[in-house]
Chains A and B, each alone.
Chain A
């Protein structure tokens, strides 16, 4: 097992730049997530690592070796595709052993590895079936099995769960995490689903428009979003953004906006932004219906069982709050919210400042 290092990658298709200035490292045995909205270039990064595309600029190191000039075959990587891409004319056994047969591995070795992997993934009784005779979940396992059999230095997953139904997706997600623990392999995993990213990832690389927005642990991205995009992308429902400015009154600093005014004297970093326009972001789960500085009118209340989502409006700004169930308010009522200071972030020109 080896790590992966990417340095200053750039890729364009025709005249459109899809990736620029991409640099990151994945250490050995790490589960790394490439997260971002569709079209952000995350799959292209994966294809560049795999050697299915050539970058215009930059280097890719697998272990200590620079692999840019190598074919996919020589890079010793395995990839699990979104559509699984099982060979329809071959049965499960042949699908899993395909790469080994290309490599001309002796038959008894192939047999042993395929059997062992099939046992690991609980598909031993499916080996003689064709892909079309398998369910979605089973195909998924076969695709993962095909990757494991090769004993690659790096696993690449391209949205592997997006074709499964919601229930199976959750189950497979848990299985994947277990599998990673068992194999200890280095994984680069592409997804647009933040739940997958937060639960599976040890490191998340969040991309937008072909540019890295933030690299960090799930906690980093949630607790210290680098910019407005990250803050808005991570977390569901989305973070509330309130535009306003920093003002000083009676030797105290305040964040003032049409919706609310709050005391921010405990944030010394904001002193540099007095008189400037900034954005306050607060996650819905840090708003509590209580005596507080923010007054809003309820527009919709969603009771989800374990929790309740309140959609309200204050001075024309939509406010979302996520609270425990038991809330009795109705549409059209006025409500006040108190803030938990931990959940408040400030941004200037899109960048987090406090």
Chain B
């Protein structure tokens, strides 16, 4: 569903395109042999190439090329066996070369498709315009010195993939779904860790508005948004700002704007406008990037199962709903965990336990799948115990909570606490007799036509047996006794 802003003069449609910068997962940088790991001491992961010392020459990292091709394949995109690196010229303190090595006219990856997942299992295809390789810049720190800006070049020269979408999105929700899906695919592929907190993934958001059906309006770009929430907030603010201007007869200036997440507004960045004359030209230090079809085929052969394919398989072979399948495949770790639990077990019951109790207890204890005290096998045992009637679903939930807190196995807890479900008819009949004997007035009411009291007796019997009575057996035995 597109977002429509109802103005005084009529409806406005919002049009969104995204440029996502994703840091390539690699040991070394795009054109040098220095390390890429996050969080190192300042300027310790910098080579003379990254610092742009005179005479240093860039040599491309094989892994960066492979990761870009792999990502292109994951986006069902055209792979260009011939691409060219260009210099994008601008001056900034954290860009020692005075230019960024990027790809302009001939990128390594061309048009592709990304399918986004919306509410109620609805999907939409968003066009990918291109993906190109480029260098990251260094980092400027403005608040640690009273009069100076401090520059750390550890990030300088790290390989980035810039992934550009078509202006195909029509609402903040679609933009959010796009970023989430792209992040998921990158993580499945292992080409980017998708860690937005550490800046491994950041987005430039292009927003324009128009009358439904009209040509595209003039857009504004908001740079460097590093959370899905900020992306959505920035779009809402910016779209409304543009509608207000247009409705008052004004016109939109194409410009770069800064989103201030504290104030929740976008501001013009006029100071940078002049710098937008990038004067691209082919980098004379680098020959064109070329590879043959066999290089691409080899990467293709090693592609993992991606979220869309996994979702289809969960739906078609395991009979899981589109919604549940979507939840399970979004994170690879969750999908893997689920598959371990569901192996040889009831798929539906496994889904309910993974997305219900398991997620609930992770949240309660502040743990993640990686640090969870309960393994997939341990959860599987709980499901087995429910299936073979050893414990009821209700008891299972208690047992599971204790498993999280103590790390013990389900069978141990059941054994220690004597939680084994009672299915023995003799014991259950005795419990029913006790309850009936203790509540003669309620029995009389029931026999007088108050059918609803069946639930009361059921509850009392369960309470009487410490919740261990098999509810199915109680149900079967209780009614005849009440009816006399």
Decide whether A and B assemble into one complex. no
Residues of B at under 8 Å CB distance from A?
none
